[in-house]
């Protein structure tokens, strides 16, 4: 069994993180997002050092984490490959206060000021202080073993 296979057994939610750097919009699918602190409100995610969007996310100063809804598998796939303009083409979204793109129909979003970058092997961990957030009722998209799904809660 490979390390990737073992890590894939850990079920996560799915997000698309966006930023605007030097006038261009950037977005990528990310499942390493996690919450860290309530007071102050802080979250983290990690980005591959070789990602073409690495410079944008580490230098723009802010980013917005879009937590995808159960029916947004196609969005998750689209933001994991192709050019940035292909990713945002026909994507319904609005601009946030910090000029980042907020996708519509997500179950939650967090806009963050980049507070700290921690280098860890082939990734950098981006720690952000949440400056604004929003939430909506609905089911989130989940991911495990390279497959998307929805949570089937146990009945009480
Ligand atoms: C479900 C899923 C989760 C992902 N999570 C991450 C992540 O947490 N960090 C990361 O660097 N890449 C992650 N990726 C891969 C990136 O989305 C992909 O490599 C990136 O969009 C490539 O584009 P870029 O190199 O142009 O930035 C994930 C991909 C998928 C499908």
Within a domain: 5: no
Within a domain: 3: no
Tell me: pLDDT of 156 over 90: no
Within a domain: 79: yes
Within a domain: 59: yes
Domain of residue 91, CATH code: 2.30.110.10
pLDDT of residue 117: 98
CB of 51 within 6 A of ligand 1: the answer is yes
Are 20 and 93 within 8 A, CB to CB? no
Within a domain: 154: no
- The residue range of the domain holding 55 is 15-144
- Overall pTM > 0.95: yes
Ligand 1 atom 18, closest CA: 80
Q: How far is the CA of 100 from the centre of ligand 1 (A)?
A: 18
pLDDT of residue 4: 94
Mutation test residue for ligand 1: of 31, 34, 67, the one with most atoms within 8 Å of CB = 31
Query: DSSP string covering 71-89, please?
Result: T-HHHHHHTTSS-HHHHHT
Within a domain: 107: yes
H or E element: which one contains 135? strand 123-135
What is the tally of structural domains in the chain?
Answer: 1
pLDDT of residue 1: 81
């Amino acid at each position: 069994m490979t390390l990737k296979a073992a890590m894939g057994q850990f079920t996560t939610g799915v997000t698309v993180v966006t930023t605007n750097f030097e006038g261009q919009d950037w977005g990528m699918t990310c499942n390493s997002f996690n919450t860290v602190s309530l007071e102050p409100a802080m979250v983290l995610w990690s980005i591959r050092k070789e990602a073409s969007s690495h410079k944008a996310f580490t230098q723009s100063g802010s980013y917005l984490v879009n937590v995808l809804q159960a029916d947004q598998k196609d969005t998750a796939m689209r933001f994991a490959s192709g050019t940035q303009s292909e990713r945002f083409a026909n994507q319904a979204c609005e601009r946030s206060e910090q000029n980042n793109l907020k996708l519509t129909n997500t179950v939650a979003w967090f806009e963050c000021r980049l507070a700290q970058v921690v280098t860890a092997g082939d990734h950098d961990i981006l720690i952000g202080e949440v400056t604004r957030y929003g939430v909506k009722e609905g089911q989130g998209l989940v991911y495990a073993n390279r497959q998307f799904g929805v949570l089937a809660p146990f009945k009480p």
